[in-house]
Structure 1
Amino acid sequence: MAIVIEDLQLERLAQQIATAEGVSVTEVVREGLMSLAGLRGLPAKKPALRERLTALAREVDAVPHRPSDGRSDNDILGYNEHGTW
């Protein structure tokens, strides 16, 4: 079954969200409808665990890598060469 979006503004918004989130428009619509169903108290079948974990992995991969601190563990913790503060 297909859903046709005849509202150009809505279609553009769905595409912008999909691009920003790094997911498909289908995923944006799915999450939006499931969220709304939950708010309305309607039963909504959760995606399979594999799908939820895949989505979570995608989110984790999208987090920008921060450069690591160049200091040693001892320097970060404040230990000196004798193992004391």
Structure 2
Amino acid sequence: MTTASKPPRQSPLKVDPATDKLISQGAHFLGLTKKDLVAEAVRVYLDQRREDLREGMVEALSVLDGSLKSDVMLLTGLTSEEIDAVGGIDE
């Protein structure tokens, strides 16, 4: 028996009033829904920033080595030396 997976739940996007006005005007004049305009804009923006995304992912992955210390470094932004200076981490 296979279980049908549920589609992801949609979540509201909260933006400031000035941005909402821009989205509304842009969607109106482009003949799109606000939802479609935002979706397309995000896709275009992330495509333009693809190299920045890649660099961020590579940097994050280079920190992770499977240890608790690497997890703490990634989550806190502390260096290995800074963690050791405050008592280190018991693995």
Report the TM-score, using the length of structure 1 for normalisation. 0.45
Largest Rg, 1 or 2: 1
Structure 1 or 2: larger helix share?
Answer: 2
Report the TM-score, using the length of structure 2 for normalisation. 0.42
